[in-house]
Amino acid sequence: MTPFHQLPWYAQWCVLAHGDQMYGDQPYQFHLEAVVSVAIEFGFTSPHVLMTCWGHDVGEDTKKTRSDMLYVGFPVPVVDGIDAVTDEPGETRAERKAKTLPKIAANRLGLIAKLCDRIANVRQSKATSPKKYATYKYEHAEFVRVLYDASDVELAPLWAHLNSLLAD
């Protein structure tokens, strides 16, 4: 992991927002960096994309609000992207995803961040958590149905990679 003091301000803010939260047996920064690394690996390096990737779980997993993010300087499009990937309330995971995926489809930054997040999660679960991997595999058809756009050539490499990760 990158030393905290070497992270950009917005990444530091997101890591601090997650506090002591863990990603498996790793500090949450591990997951956030993995998502950002996927974005960079596939050529998505704009500041807005990277900020959205760092912040993608803030709305869902922390007490920080949209106002908090705007107050510290996150641009409105980034906060909108983070809002788009934040799960809507629901009694089950399936219900939450059914309400959230259409929001993601309608927000470009959110869609890019969610694809990077899903790739990072699938990679990690494939290596460490067969149960989580099975969940992502089970959800994939609906994930594709709602989010995939065959005419979106910019995202095609992300989709191809995600499909290949879930093919076995």
pLDDT digits (tens, 9 = 90+) for 31-60: 999 999 999 999 999 999 999 999 999 999
Specify the pairing of strand 22-23 against strand 26-27.
Answer: antiparallel
Question: Contact, 46 vs 109, CB < 8 A?
Answer: no
Q: Which domains are assigned to the chain?
A: 4-165 (1.10.3210.10)
What is the reported pLDDT for 168? 74
Q: What is the pTM of this model?
A: 0.97
Q: Does position 118 have pLDDT exceeding 90, yes or no?
A: yes
Q: Does position 155 have pLDDT exceeding 80, yes or no?
A: yes
Q: Give the position of tokens 């596939």.
A: 42
Helix (H, G, I), strand (E, B) or coil at 75: coil
Q: Does position 18 have pLDDT exceeding 90, yes or no?
A: yes
Which residues touch 84 (CB under 8 Å, ≥6 apart)? Answer: 103, 104, 106, 107, 109, 110, 111, 114
Task: Provide, rounded to the nearest whole percent, the portion of the chain with pLDDT above 70.
Answer: 100
Confidence of residue 102 (pLDDT cuts 50, 70, 90): very high
What is the reported pLDDT for 43? 98
Closest CA to 10 of 90, 91, 71, 95: 71
What is the reported pLDDT for 67? 98
Integer Cα distance of 62 and 39 in angstroms: 22
Average pLDDT over residues 108-126: 98
Each as own residue / partner, the long-range contacts of residues 31-34 (CB below 8 Å, 24 or more positions apart, any chain) are 31/57, 31/120, 31/121, 31/124, 32/56, 32/57, 33/1, 33/2, 34/120, 34/123, 34/124
What is the reported pLDDT for 46? 98
Other CB atoms within 10 A of residue 21 CB: 14
Residue 87 is given by DSSP the state P
